[in-house]
Amino acid sequence: MTAPVIALDGPSGSGKGTLAGLLANRLGWNLLDSGAIYRLLAHGAGKHGIDLADEARLVELAARLDVQFIPGQPGQEQITLLDGEDVTRAIRTEQAGAGASKVAALPAVRAA
């Protein structure tokens, strides 16, 4: 079975996540915020002392990240947990965005 997918693209800070959340709520769909996954990986790398250019170690980390997305109530953002810790706000910082850009540029990380 296939699921319907809508992809939003645009520059950082343009409101893609806000729009995606509103659209998912309106349609009653689940939301997979792929940008959050790269932000989580960069955040997790920092917690584990992994350099953001170390592609092999980032791939290993990606394979074992304990991530949970908890849907928010209508009009509220989803909660993002990393290893049981609420990192919803931490992964939305400018620093997290810069880290996400670095790890997302690595081909093996994108494949993982």
User: DSSP string covering 22-70, please?
Assistant: HHHHHHT-----HHHHHHHHHHHHHHHT--TT-HHHHHHHHHH--EEEE
Confidence label for 71 from pLDDT (cuts 50, 70 and 90): confident
Q: What is the mean pLDDT of the chain?
A: 88
Half-sphere exposure of 23 (CA within 13 A, CB side): 14
Q: What pLDDT digit, counting tens, does each position of 21-61 carry?
A: 788 878 888 777 788 899 999 999 999 999 999 999 999 99
Taking the CA atoms of 38, 109, 43 and 84 in sequence, report the sign of the dihedral they define: positive
Report d(CA 76, CA 3) in Å as an integer: 24
Residue 68 tokens, joined = 């949970």
User: What domains are there in the chain, each with its CATH number?
Assistant: 33-111 (3.40.50.300)
